[in-house]
Chain A
Amino acid sequence: MAKEEQDKILDEVTQSDYKYGFVTDIENDDIGRGLSEDVIRMISAKKNEPEFMLEFRLKAYRHWLTMKMPEWAYLKIPEINYQDIIYYSAPKQKAKLESMDDVDPEIRATFDKLGIPLDEQKLLSNVAVDVVMDSSSVKTTFKQALAEKGVIFCSFSDAVQEHPDLIQEYMGTVVPIQDNFFAALNSAVFSDGSFVYIPKGVRCPMELSTYFRINAENTGQFERTLIVCEDESYVSYLEGCTAPMRDENQLHAAIVEIIVKDNAEVKYSTVQNWYPGNKEGLGGIYNFVTKRGICEGKNAKLMWAQVETGSAVTWKYPSTILKGDGSSSEFYSVAVTNNHQQADTGSKMIHIGNNTKSTIISKGISAGKSSNSYRGLVKVTKNCEGARNFSQCDSLLLGDKCGAHTFPYLEIGNKSAKVEHEATTSKIGEDQIFYCNQRGISTEDAIGLIVNGYAKEVINKMPMEFAVEAQKLLAISLEGSVG
């Protein structure tokens, strides 16, 4: 294919619009810009939190003040003025939601538009949804039905009020406040998120899902998810994210903590589609996320599956600490970057328990002028016998202006460990496109076929509804970027 034509198609089709970029006009309750102990006290007071929460926040804040933003990632990030961000903004609505009718119609309309109806009758019958807009949770569906099984699924704020003992016991145990710069910041100012508790022996009867939406301007979104799975329990959890199109960058720094006990199993799926910025790289979300789970009990299982297509900058490494003997973890990821997006993402698997197993399958797809890095750590501690890891990192390049990088780290402290690492880099070949063309398939469709084929291994790991959405998202994010 001629160079100019290739560029033309590349340009044309990598420019499909971000369809979630609208803004909802609702009144917000915000506390103004800036960060200080007073601001933190104000957030805690607004949320009517018990004393231990405020202490947790202040401790995190004081620690954060001593920290610097990490610079080791393969990312170019302009300096962020942390005093220029609004740390709390919530849609103003009635004090307490008893039924669907209490949700502000504007907010309902927003989520309808996003394809997330809040009306339980209209929902997919097997998915319960917690909806977080800016700093607060708007609505959690199917709460009642779940409660009958003893499952707790609610907003983090509600959990703090209704189950303070559980929060106090588990919060910060997997991601401590001093863990990293963004984790400390989140711990200081986080405003909402989701809490999941699955009691012993319960198989959660439906998929649990949290949908995050940034709406207000100049705000940061700092949410926190905590999932606790008692012995022999099971849950599949999904999260999705979108934000309006704005020329300013917005900060998103989240924490996810997962605790998996004996013989329990958690599946955690993400479709991340924050606004990626425009074609020239203006605007977009800075996505700095710390996700970590611990397989605390024996034979515990944790699976991460993610499709990442959004954000101007992504910095995230969902990790698992394999502490229980015989525990295992899998990480499946497709990360797409286009235009000027940058991603430095991967996974960490820390093997502590004996006979622990981990798998990392990472598929990076880069187009436009983007940069896409895989960074992963496999660590086997000294006393860990019989650990096994398999890592596979594939990069697919579309066009010749993008970059893909792989930074694998292996720290093996025990001779009995078996660790494999495979990496490939490929381009969508002009000959593959021509072959498809010759069978009557247009270049755009050919790329859709090839990219979805490439990502299939990961997408297949997602729950059905999400897999379909993820597949569409991939096609939209990449149409026509020929290499």
Chain B
Amino acid sequence: MLSIKNLHVSIDGKEILKGINLEIKPGEVHAIMGPNGAGKSTLASVLAGRDLYEVTEGEITFQGKNILDMAPEDRAKEGIFLGFQYPIEIPGVSTVNFMKTAVNEHRKHKGLDPLTASDFLKLMRDKKALVEIDSKLTNRSVNEGFSGGEKKKNEIFQMAMLEPKLAVLDETDSGLDIDALRIVANGVNKLKTADNSTIVITHYQRLLDYIIPDVVHVLFDGRIVKTAGKELALELEEKGYDWIKEENGK
């Protein structure tokens, strides 16, 4: 599904990622944990194609294709979805119109006709129910005036609409109360199939009580310094990140 080899990334000449290697197979859930400033969000942004960042070395292949030269919208249509840590407000653009445009762009990419209005609305209804999002939210402009939790739910709703092959969820748990966390996690779990993969980026073990990862990585100072099963998350929860820092001489 996704293969990252020796990825080095800089911003304004400062190296943030210093040689990342990561292999994700279809159906797998990987958690990436680590302290603030480790490079977690940078990794998510680079996967989505944000060009604030410069890839200085290494490669990323997604389903056998080199994606580094692909525009962000093409990566999206190939099936990479980024759940934003801070979802963006787009005043004046209704969620319905936004999603219709997005869904039809994805369909066009697959050689399918645009959905009719009624088919689209039906799809909206089904997915809204799936992720338990209120119509009050989808009737408004994209993320405008949403609370932090509502924005995150809306990310999962969009993910449900677009059915990505690889979902990268960047600190989707931050700012969520326990109920919202459960709803968001349930949404992610319901969307899980044997073919799609998920990267869950988080600070805390909490989310991983709901979304059970197959593999946990610890990202520290631009490198993956530890990789293990889900028990690693518990260990981190208990001991914090200091021991990782010490092991890595910082």
Say whether, besides A434-B50, A449-B101, A453-B141, A439 and B158 are in contact (CB < 8 Å): yes
Q: How far is the CA of A439 from the CA of B163 in the complex (A)?
A: 11
Give the contacting residue for A445; candidates B50, B92, B101, B158; CB below 8 A: B101
Which residues of chain A are near B89, meaning CB under 8 Å? 432
Nearest CB on A from B168, distance (A): 10
Q: Is the CB of A429 within 8 A of B88?
A: yes
Say whether, besides A449-B97, A453-B141, A441 and B102 are in contact (CB < 8 Å): yes
- Residue B90 lies at the interface, judged by CB distance under 8 Å to chain A: yes
Nearest chain A residue, comparing its CB with the CB of B54: A2
Chain B interface residue number, banded: 20 to 34
Question: Which stretch in B76-84, B125-133, B173-181, B204-212 binds the other chain?
Answer: B76-84
Say whether, besides A449-B98, A449-B101, A453-B141, A438 and B82 are in contact (CB < 8 Å): yes
- Residue A115 lies at the interface, judged by CB distance under 8 Å to chain B: no
Say whether, besides A434-B50, A438-B82, A454 and B92 are in contact (CB < 8 Å): yes
Nearest CB on A from B46, distance (A): 12
Q: Which of A429, A438, A442 has the most CB of B within 10 A?
A: A438
- Residue A77 lies at the interface, judged by CB distance under 8 Å to chain B: no
Say whether, besides A2-B51, A449-B101, A437 and B90 are in contact (CB < 8 Å): no
Q: Is the CB of B72 within 8 A of A438?
A: yes
Interface membership of chain A positions 208-250, coded 1 if the CB is closer than 8 angstroms to chain B and 0 otherwise: 0000000000000000000000000000000000000000000
Q: Is the CB of A450 within 8 A of B90?
A: yes
16 A-B pairs in the complex with CB atoms less than 8 angstroms apart: A1-B51, A429-B88, A432-B88, A435-B87, A436-B90, A436-B98, A437-B71, A437-B76, A438-B48, A438-B84, A439-B98, A440-B73, A440-B105, A441-B101, A442-B105, A453-B141
Which residues of chain A are near B81, meaning CB under 8 Å? 438
Q: Which chain B residues numbered 39 to 83 have a C-beta less than 8 Å away from chain A?
A: 48-51, 71-73, 76-77, 81-82
Enumerate chain A interface residues (CB-CB to B < 8 A): 1-2, 5, 429, 431-432, 434-443, 445, 449-450, 452-456
Q: Is the CB of B93 within 8 A of A439?
A: no
Q: Is the CB of A440 within 8 A of B92?
A: no
Nearest chain A residue, comparing its CB with the CB of B102: A439
Nearest chain A residue, comparing its CB with the CB of B74: A440
Further 7 A-B residue pairs, CB within 8 A, beyond A434-B48, A438-B49: A432-B90, A439-B162, A442-B71, A449-B90, A453-B94, A453-B141, A455-B92
Give the contacting residue for B102; candidates A429, A440, A456; CB below 8 A: A440
Q: Which chain B residues numbered 140 to 177 have a C-beta less than 8 Å away from chain A?
A: 141, 158, 162
Q: How far is the CA of A245 from the CA of B73 in the complex (A)?
A: 36
Enumerate chain B interface residues (CB-CB to A < 8 A): 48-51, 71-73, 76-77, 81-82, 84, 87-94, 97-99, 101-102, 105-106, 109, 141, 158, 162
Q: How far is the CA of A431 from the CA of B72 in the complex (A)?
A: 12
Give the contacting residue for A442; candidates B73, B88, B90, B99; CB below 8 A: B73
Which 4 residue pairs of A and B lie closest in terms of their CB atoms, listed nearest first? A453-B92, A437-B72, A453-B93, A439-B102
Which residues of chain B are near A450, meaning CB under 8 Å? 90, 92-93
Nearest CB on A from B44, distance (A): 11
Q: Is the CB of B109 within 8 A of A440?
A: yes
Q: Is the CB of B73 within 8 A of A437?
A: yes
Q: How far is the CA of A324 from the CA of B247 in the complex (A)?
A: 82
Nearest CB on B from A432, distance (A): 5
Q: Is the CB of A441 within 8 A of B88?
A: no
Q: How far is the CA of A474 from the CA of B243 in the complex (A)?
A: 58
Nearest CB on A from B87, distance (A): 7
Nearest chain B residue, comparing its CB with the CB of A6: B51
Nearest CB on B from A191, distance (A): 41
Which residues of chain A are near B101, meaning CB under 8 Å? 441, 445, 449
Q: Is the CB of B90 within 8 A of A435?
A: yes
Which residues of chain B are near A429, meaning CB under 8 Å? 88
Nearest CB on A from B89, distance (A): 8
Q: How far is the CA of A437 from the CA of B102 in the complex (A)?
A: 9
Q: How far is the CA of A435 from the CA of B82 in the complex (A)?
A: 9
Q: Is the CB of B88 within 8 A of A431?
A: yes
